[in-house]
Chain A
């Protein structure tokens, strides 16, 4: 019997605001402990929460971006549990009436081995506003834990999916897509090291074709896509092996250990899950009007899907190219700037998704820190189009530009990469090569097409790569036919 894994994600995105969700305390990362913990953050008696307008607008933006219903009326609730980093004894969250309802995100799952890439729609169940907890620090004082409440009250949007994913690859593709989207619309800085984007992954397995969901275990707080992939793969194997050995799965929260690559149960969920939610009497219902939505809509950037369609229509690019170009806003902006600076669109698309992206990946950089600016790239591409250099030479120039050796024209000049445009000079080389390779010429004339390419290779080599390959092809063909 074949097994199937079923995955759903809960993602906590830290919203880009200046202050906390319920107080005017700052939320700068890395501040001295408790210097951003005001009386609301530390839950002094008598304090009251006042909702941050910017946090609400972030939630509306997200709802609009995933085509979701945005609740005209939503309610904050208390989630009750005891932990030292939660001084109130409850977290203010949303339960029955979240601000964002059902929506959808479409993802591109990359090819794996023989399985080609494919597109899939992941349904979003809901997204709700809530406050983050503080942090516990261990080891500062013997036998004690230290509590830093700077993070307490930081605005979060928790985004919950349906159990729609069927492999670790799909879950990672969704997480990456969501990560790009929240940065694209400017509601989250996406910094995973600093905890601005954290994923909880619910994993269960069942026999393929079974309509019933298996018992799930929740992998908490994954803050890297690589760990997410490893954790889901390990957890899936573990659950299948447990069931095949006649065991059963118990609902639990598990942690992933990156050092061993294993997941381990943290605590039994039954008691921890008894949160006794109820509407927070300190907060009135949040009302969002059609005007509020329209105002936020007007401030939204063009969304990736719309931009993708526009690139296809405007520049005649393939769906594959436009998908890659709109995979991040930075990349899309870079592409647009390259075209604006005079590069031809298809060529710019190839270079941005090819050479430029490869370089960024190799150096683990984002496009904003590209060593070659869009305008500089456009200058290089123009030199290919006007025949000054060959594609191969352009790659060499690009490498040099990347290592800061100057602009395209200066490097072409310095390295002597200009193509020979003088057909006389090219003809001389061709004649020399033909004379030296009489055997190949005979083979070609005897019908061996391959010999032609070998001759072109020899000629290019003799020209030290400076001959224009198209011109060589033409001239050689003429000479052989003569």
Chain B
């Protein structure tokens, strides 16, 4: 599978990573190399082998449905991001975390 520079830019955009032209070109050759490795692996016959979804052959432990967490809003909100719009304080108000306005 051949990747194009547009693919790289799209993937970067979806992951919200800013890449320059030179970074995009470098990433293109690295990713193409990784895809080449995968192609090599795909040549292996895996008939009858259940695909792995985790590196360890274990299964999920379940938690009893009991409240174990207490309200730590104050402590958490001291660590909220500072948005830097003139304020040096964590961006919170009325118990809410503040973010730049979201318009749907």
Task: Give A contacts to B, CB under 8 Å.
Answer: 17-19, 23-26, 32-40, 42, 44, 50-56, 73, 75, 80, 82-84, 97, 136-138, 140-141, 143-149, 266, 271, 274, 276, 279, 281, 283-287
Inter-subunit contact A42/B102 (CB<8 Å): no
User: Closest A-chain residue to B55, C-beta based?
Assistant: A281
Contact assessment for B67 and A26 in the assembled complex, using a CB-CB cutoff below 8 Å: yes
Neighbouring B residues of A286 by C-beta, 8 Å: 59-60
The reply to whether B55 and A141 contact each other, CB–CB distance below 8 Å, is no
In the complex, which residues of chain B have a beta carbon less than 8 angstroms from the beta carbon of A146? 93-94, 96-98
For window 20-73 of B, CB contacts with A under 8 Å fall at 53-56, 58-69, 71-73
- Please report whether the interface of chain A is mostly helix, strand, loop or mixed according to DSSP: loop
Contact, CB under 8 Å: A148 / B96: yes
Give A80 to B15 CA distance when docked, in angstroms.
Answer: 8
The residue on A at minimum CB distance from B79 is A44
Q: Is the CB of B60 within 8 A of A51?
A: yes
Contacts A143-B101, A147-B98, A284-B54 aside, 9 further interface pairs with beta carbons under 8 A come to A18-B65, A26-B67, A32-B95, A34-B76, A36-B71, A80-B14, A266-B104, A279-B53, A285-B60
Closest chain-A Cβ to B34's Cβ sits at a distance in Å of 15
A148-B95 in contact (CB<8A): yes
**B interface, how many residues as a size bin?**
35 or more
Our pick among B59, B69, B97, B104 for the contact of A34 (Cβ within 8 Å) is B97
Give a binary string over B80-94; 1 marks a CB under 8 Å from any A CB, 0 the rest. 000000000001011
Q: Which residues of B contact A55 (CB under 8 A)?
A: 65
Identify the closest chain A residue to B14 (Cβ): A274
**B69 adjacent to A136 (CB under 8 Å):** no
Which A residues touch B98, using CB under 8 A? 141, 144-147
Say whether B67 contacts A25, CB under 8 Å: yes
Contact B60 A284 (CB under 8 A): yes
Residues in B neighbouring A149, C-beta threshold 8 A: 97
A-B CB contact pairs (8 Å), 29 listed: A19-B66, A19-B68, A25-B69, A32-B95, A33-B95, A33-B96, A34-B95, A34-B96, A35-B95, A37-B76, A39-B76, A42-B97, A44-B76, A50-B63, A51-B62, A54-B64, A54-B65, A84-B102, A137-B96, A140-B93, A140-B96, A143-B100, A145-B98, A145-B102, A266-B104, A279-B53, A284-B54, A284-B58, A285-B54
Give the distance to chain B from A74, nearest Cβ to Cβ, in Å.
Answer: 9
Chain A min CB distance to B67 (Å)? 5
Contacts of B14 in A (CB 8 A): 80, 271, 274, 276
Q: Which residues of B contact A35 (CB under 8 A)?
A: 71, 73, 95
Interface contact B95-A24, CB-CB below 8 Å: no
Across the two chains, which residue of chain A brings its CB closest to B93? A141
- CB-defined contacts of A34 to chain B, threshold 8 Å: 73, 76-77, 95-97
What separation, in Å, do the CA atoms of A83 and B55 have in the docked complex? 29
Chain B residues near A143 (CB-CB < 8 A):
100-101
Contact B61 A84 (CB under 8 A): no
Separation of A36 and B65 alpha carbons in the complex (Å): 15
CA distance A276 to B91 in the complex (A): 31
Closest to B72 in A: A38
B73 touches A82 (CB 8 A): no
Residues of A contacting B94 with CB < 8 Å? 33, 140, 146
Q: Most chain-A CB neighbours within 10 Å: which of B56, B63, B71?
A: B63
